[in-house]
Structure 1
Amino acid sequence: MTYQGSLTQLKEVERLVHDRTAYEFLKENFDGPKMDQDQMLWLHESLRSSELAETDKYRVITATLYVILAHDTHEGIDEKGDAHKLTLKERELTVLAGDYYSALYYRTMAELGMIDLLRALQRGVQKMNTAKTNIYQLHVSSDEQYASEFRAASAAIFSEFARYFGKTDAFILLAEHVLALKKTV
């Protein structure tokens, strides 16, 4: 498959995610996080040699994007020290949207019946949460450790996804660096 063909297929995945998340109230009242095109491309590339049917590949990517969107959305909830305070309605909608994406993730994973992939993605969620905790609570003692934790906070879900589909450590490390760099921009 060509690069252009992959991009066309990823547009279809993006459309499916947006269609499913078009819950009218949220659509009208919540902007939400932006879909990361690069992350979609890395997820798709991770599945390139998989023996899954094309429709299942897109459903797996969609489910993974849902869990990433859920966490990105929940990350938008403000804290006491934040300069920009959300209104109560904005905060409640942010929580609701994150929970909605999470529900779509679990529903899609249940439909797929891929329990081992679900476990891998949950390991990614756990690693991401641990890394974020280490960063926010300053449990890092060096620049190298900070960079490692930042990569995990930015790409742990993707990394576990790619490992599940047998990608090499070099591929995963390159993707982690790219995805982490995007978080800093």
Structure 2
Amino acid sequence: MNCYRIPEMAKKYIEYDMIQKHTELPLFPEFRTRLLYAFLSKHSTLSGHSELFGLVTSLVQIGLDTHDMVSVTNQAKEMRAARSRQLKVLAGDYFSSRFYFLLAHAGQIELIGVISRAICDVNRLKINLYQLMKQLKLSAEDYIKQSVEVKTQLYLAFSKLMEGTVRRKWSEILQLFTCCEVLLLEISKSEKVQQHRESWGFWHVFQQATKEERRHLQLDDPDPSKIRAMWLKYKVTTQLYQMLDAAVKQLQEYLQSLEPKELGKELLLVGEPFKLYLSRPKASEEI
């Protein structure tokens, strides 16, 4: 197995003192990047570019995710909050621009077009999702499905570059891993009341809530204690853990039967953090 060092390579472009001092950045897309690297490393002609392609795609993804962290409104009057917002916009643009430079420098002009089209597809999917959310026309199940679709779209751009039967496996494995990743993120959100509107918990509760509870859910500044009470009442965190457990089992079963066996074993190791997360002591909710 080749040494995987893309996160370390990405630090050169991500870890700037000004950004780290004044704003937060999204998490590195570890699982999707490791998957892409693992598949490309087995490619007959692209194996020599597995690090470069994994690096530039991760930088684009971080750029997209950084822009997602920018607040929709620009009402922040306090200088620190305004500076953080501005830096997110600039940082997202900078991270995204690096893929042009790195690929052009390496002579990979065709891939610039592939990734650029994928970025357009990601933004289209996001707009569709935001419109459904704004119109309150989204189910909890659809929220997960569309979140996975948004997160996989950039990496699915490499499907056409995959060889033979690996092409179909790439898409399926990417979906399975990303579903686990999304559920992991949603568990974290369920423990942070301030993020309730951009979460699976909101749609899960909204589907079952009383009229009064729905009204409170839609307030711009809801009472955090009431939101937490609803999350407990409708077992948000517990159900997310159950969903993650089922998704991890499905992923493991798929990988255990994967051919070639060597790839399956490698990807099982990549997915090990999901198992470790499920085995850790859970925060007390209603369980």
State the TM-score bracket (shorter-chain normalisation): 0.7 to 0.9
Q: 1:18 to 1:141 in 2, by over 3 A?
A: closer
The structure with the larger Rg is: 2
Structure 2 counterpart of 1:118, from 112, 119, 122: 112
| Paired residue total | 175
Distance 1:90 1:145 in 2: 32
Deviates more, 1:102-111 or 1:172-181: 172-181
Q: 1:102 to 1:145 in 2, by over 3 A?
A: same
Distance 1:127 1:148 in 2: 16
CA contact (8 A) 1:109 1:118 kept: yes
Q: Which residue of 2 aligns with 1:14?
A: 7
Q: Determine whether 1:165 maps to 2:158.
A: no
Q: 1:28 to 1:171 in 2, by over 3 A?
A: same
Q: Which residue of 2 aligns with 1:106?
A: 100
Structure 1 residue 87, shift from structure 2 partner: 1.5
Scaled by the length of structure 2, what TM-score is found? Answer: 0.54
CA contact (8 A) 1:39 1:179 kept: yes
Q: Which residue of 2 aligns with 1:129?
A: 123
What letter matches 1:130 in structure 2?
Answer: R
Distance 2:14 2:141 in 1: 38
Unaligned runs of 5+ in 2: 185-287
Q: Which residue of 2 aligns with 1:151?
A: 148
Cα deviations by residue, 1:33-92 (Å, 9 ceiling, x for unpaired): 1112211211112202222364x32122111111111101111111249xxx98111100
In angstroms, what is the RMSD of aligned CA positions? 2.8
CA contact (8 A) 1:121 1:160 kept: yes
Q: Which residue of 1 aligns with 2:34?
A: 41
Helix, strand or coil for the counterpart of 2:26?
coil
Q: Which residue of 1 aligns with 2:90?
A: 96
CA contact (8 A) 1:43 1:162 kept: no
Percent identity over paired residues: 21
CA contact (8 A) 1:67 1:101 kept: yes
Distance 1:61 1:75 in 2: 21
Structure 1 residue 94, shift from structure 2 partner: 0.6
Larger RCO (alpha carbons 8 Å, 6+ apart): 1
